[in-house]
Amino acid sequence: MLNLRDLNRATLARQHLLSRHEGDVADVVHRLVGLQAQEPRPPYLGVWTRLAGFEREDLHAALHARTLVRATLWRATLHLVTAADFAAFRPLVAPVLAAAARRFDGVDFDAVAAAAGRLLEAGAMTFNELRPRLLEEFPGVNDRALGYAARMLTPLVIEPTGDRWSFPRDPAFGLPGVPMSPADAPALIERYLAAFGPATPADVQTWSGLGGLRQVMAGMDLERVTYAGRELFDLPGAPRPGGDVPAPVRFLPDFDTLILGHADRTRVLAEEHKGFVATKNLRVRAVYLVDGFAAGTWQIKRSGKKARLLVTPFGRADLGPLEEEGLRLLAFAEPDAGSLALEAVDAV
């Protein structure tokens, strides 16, 4: 039987948040089965907090080598994933993406997907470039619906550039240039548990968007463990170091995969703090962990050459333990700043 701290430490160990991974950037992205990447900078910070000796150029180079790609995947949102995982799991979630696209009426989805693929064979385009081209072939159809359908139904990757975080504000999408090699649901479940377990079928569904997983998991060779009167599944022999293992201060970026990875987030985020993290406009704020649990939110403010890391504790807090890790994060995120500072602010 696990208690809350046991569950917390088991998950942090798999997320490389008890100790930073000694390896390369692709190791971390593979272990996590991707990091959410609606915006270009958060995946860099998510890797930084998990990988020893990480340099911005490491991820930048991997993107340009197509070892890693930024593409639509889990929950119909953009993720940074390995190219191999994109090829394996994009076909598996295709029904989820198709269902998201079909919320629009009056669209011939198969025809739109075929047209988008044909147009993009000539080269990558931004959606501001692609939508008018699609509208020429489908006059009278809402151009936003056409663009969204193309993005959900056609496997696409975003083309990296020389920007600091590898992508501009209006990026170009292109064909992946590699064949899809579909994986099955048990393979996905094993990868999920290696990164997020122990977990329930509802946890896997919340993270992936896929349904019908309880029966699949019940038929797999998985361990069963008990937490708070519920049955959780886990990989045999997966790390569960125990709740007394120390957990260092860690800063997680906006939309971090740890915060979004479970139906029940209380293994890292207390129920009473959820409203401070998930906003009404669907943003998930950056949080910092103290003793393994979310203890507040943070943001970076830049004014001229001065960069400030503003932390908002959920309660009374001593900023001393945050300073070393926080200033290291700030130096990574704002390498050209002349001065760095960590300050506490009240919640808005």
Distant-in-sequence, close-in-space partners of 186: CB < 8 Å, separation ≥ 6: 216, 220
Per-residue pLDDT tens for 91-146? 999 999 999 988 888 889 999 999 999 999 999 999 999 999 999 999 999 999 99
pLDDT tier, 23 (very low <50, low <70, confident <90, very high otherwise): very high
pLDDT digits (tens, 9 = 90+) for 38-53: 999 999 999 999 999 9
Q: Render 164-199 in DSSP notation, one character per residue.
A: TTS--SS-EEE---S------HHHHHHHHHHHH-SB
pLDDT per residue over 150-173, tens digit each?
Answer: 999 999 999 999 999 999 999 999
- By mean pLDDT, which of 95-109, 191-205, 255-269 is the weakest? 95-109
Q: What is d(CA 298, CA 311) in angstroms, rounded to the nearest whole number?
A: 4
pLDDT given at position 319: 87
Q: Which amino acid is at 164?
A: R
Whether 348 shows a pLDDT value over 80: the answer reads no
What percentage of the chain has pLDDT greater than the value 90?
93
- Please provide the DSSP assignment of 209-241 as one string: ----HHHHHHTS--EEEEETTEEEEE-TT----
Domain boundaries, the chain: 6-174, 186-234, 250-344
Q: How confident is the model at residue 237 (pLDDT cuts 50, 70, 90)?
A: very high
Please state at what angle helix 56-64 crosses helix 25-32, rounded to 10 degrees: 70
